[in-house]
């Protein structure tokens, strides 16, 4: 897409929608980092003897903690600074909806698609995509409230 066309589209969105779109894109970049952490911790857990399901539970908490910290520092940097432990706990709590989509997709693929069971990173990726939108809107609304304005 030529730069002028992209600029024209962004201008037509208006400042509020543009800011929301940019915030969603930053959330997606952070989610990509979370995917890398999730995958690395899962494979490390598998190498240490954890199973496909318990390893994924551990990797999800590591990834969620990473994405919370990066979203706090970058995506929602203008949000009020709630106490760290409280905000992290609220982030994990509200993202349980995204976790259910994420882990449910992963577990179904691992259970029913032998190729995914042999290559669980595919299930991790599918799960991350399944939980992305819900996690963004819940995080924006309940964890980083001022950023939604």
Average predicted confidence (pLDDT) for the chain: 88
CA distance 83 to 100: 26
Is the CB of residue 96 less than 8 Å from the CB of residue 138?
no
Give me the pLDDT at residue 41, please: 98
Share of the chain above pLDDT 90, in %: 62
Is the CB of residue 123 less than 8 Å from the CB of residue 79?
no
**Does 124 have pLDDT greater than 50?**
yes
Give me the pLDDT at residue 146, please: 55
Give me the pLDDT at residue 6, please: 62
- Mean pLDDT across the stretch 59-74? 94
Q: When comparing pLDDT for 47 and 8, which is higher?
A: 47
**Does 82 have pLDDT greater than 90?**
no
Can you give the pTM of this predicted structure?
0.78
CA distance 121 to 31: 15
Quick one: which of 12, 98, 106 has its CA closest to 55? 106
At 8, list the tokens.
Answer: 């024209």
Give me the pLDDT at residue 9, please: 66
Give me the pLDDT at residue 8, please: 72
Is the CB of residue 39 less than 8 Å from the CB of residue 60?
no
């Amino acid at each position: 897409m030529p730069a002028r066309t992209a600029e024209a589209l962004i201008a037509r969105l208006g400042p509020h929608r543009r800011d929301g779109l940019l915030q969603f894109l930053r959330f997606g970049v952070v989610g990509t980092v979370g995917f890398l952490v999730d995958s690395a911790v899962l494979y490390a857990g598998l190498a240490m003897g954890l199973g496909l399901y318990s390893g994924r539970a551990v990797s999800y908490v590591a990834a969620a903690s990473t994405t919370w910290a990066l979203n706090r520092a970058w995506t929602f940097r203008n949000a009020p600074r709630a106490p760290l432990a409280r905000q992290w706990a609220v982030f994990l709590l509200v993202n349980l909806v995204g976790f259910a989509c994420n882990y449910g997709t992963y577990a179904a693929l691992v259970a029913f698609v032998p190729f995914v069971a042999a290559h669980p990173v595919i299930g991790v990726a599918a799960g991350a995509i399944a939980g992305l939108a819900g996690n963004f809107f819940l995080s924006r609304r309940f964890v980083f409230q001022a950023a939604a304005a």
